[in-house]
Amino acid sequence: MLPSVILHNSVSIDGSLTGFEPDMALHYRIAAGYHPEATLIGSRTVLKGIELFGEGVPPEEPCDFERPEREGSLPYWVIIDTRGALQGMLHSCRRFEYCRDVVVLVSGSTPGEYLAHLEERKYRHHEVGSDHVDLKQALELLAETYQARTVLTDTGQILGNLLLDQGLVAGISLLVHPVIVGARSYPIFGGLTNPLKLRLKHSEVFEKEYLWQVYEVER
């Protein structure tokens, strides 16, 4: 049985994923309320996050070669990285205190050098696909291996739209920020192939300016 996938994003009023500074504390507070066993992230989103919110990638330390010991209630960060784009950077994610540990999804085309890099640092990694990651197979693996009942996606347009187009998303959670990006907007659903019908399940205002909307995706 596939886990329930919730697409959770912070967006502008005109639906842009970029071009503004999101309230990350509120974003993650809402995300934690879903109590996911896993958070699914694309490598491009991780790179963008390091660029926008980090202070560069710190050098590795001996502790980065061991799996952290954290509460079992924390979600795994499951990162799709078939090309090894995050080689030498994953410890930035592993150190995040609200991450149980990092799990990497790779494919048959992933460079052997990157696989060796992951193994040396004891990252759990799984091959799910020949060239690209097979998303349905990945979700099946998360359910079976990590007992994931709820998977939250915290990602950009590409992965989110692929999940939607393949009918793998149960709900959409949008934290709408009081800003319009305009001509430079990067629309969250700009890459969707098929139209979707949604049902509004919840709406709430935070701090008199942020609107949280939760939709169920109709099958």
- Answer whether residue 214 shows pLDDT above 80: yes
pLDDT at 154: 83
Report residue 47 as tokens.
């790179």
Average confidence score pLDDT of the chain: 94
All domains of the chain, ordered by start, with CATH?
Answer: 1-37+149-219 (3.40.430.10), 57-148 (3.40.50)
Each residue of 16-38: pLDDT tens digit?
A: 999 999 999 999 999 999 999 99
- The CB density around residue 47, as the number of other CB atoms within 10 Å, is 14
Which position has the higher pLDDT, 219 or 130? 130
pLDDT of 93 > 80? The answer is yes
What's the rounded Cα separation, in Å, for the pair 180 and 183?
9
Q: What is the mean pLDDT of residues 118-141?
A: 97
Kindly state the average pLDDT of the residues 187-200.
Answer: 95
Higher pLDDT, 191 or 54: 191
DSSP SS3 for 32: helix
Q: What is the largest CA-CA distance in the chain?
A: 51
The pLDDT assigned to 52 comes to 66
Nearest to 123 by CA among 78, 85, 186: 78
pLDDT category, 53, cuts 50, 70, 90? Answer: low
Residue 54: which pLDDT band, with cuts at 50, 70 and 90?
low
Burial class (CB in 10 A: 0-12, 13-18, 19+), 116: exposed
Give the pLDDT confidence of 153-174 residue by residue, as tens digits: 988 899 999 999 999 999 999 9
Of 43, 44, 16, residue with least CA distance to 190: 16
* 51 pLDDT tier (thresholds 50, 70, 90): confident
Taking 70 as the threshold, does the pLDDT of residue 132 lie above it?
Answer: yes
Note the pLDDT tens digit of each residue in 70-87.
999 999 999 999 999 999
Tokens matching residue 101: 């540990």
Residue 209 predicted with pLDDT over 70: yes
Q: CB neighbours (10 Å) of residue 174?
A: 18
In this structure, of 49-53, 68-72, 139-143, the range with the lowest mean pLDDT score is 49-53
- Over range 4-22, report the average pLDDT: 96
Are 102 and 77 in contact by the 8 Å Cβ rule? The answer is yes
Residue 101 in this model has a pLDDT that exceeds 80 = yes
CB of 98 closer than 8 Å to CB of 74 = yes
Mean pLDDT computed over 109-138: 97
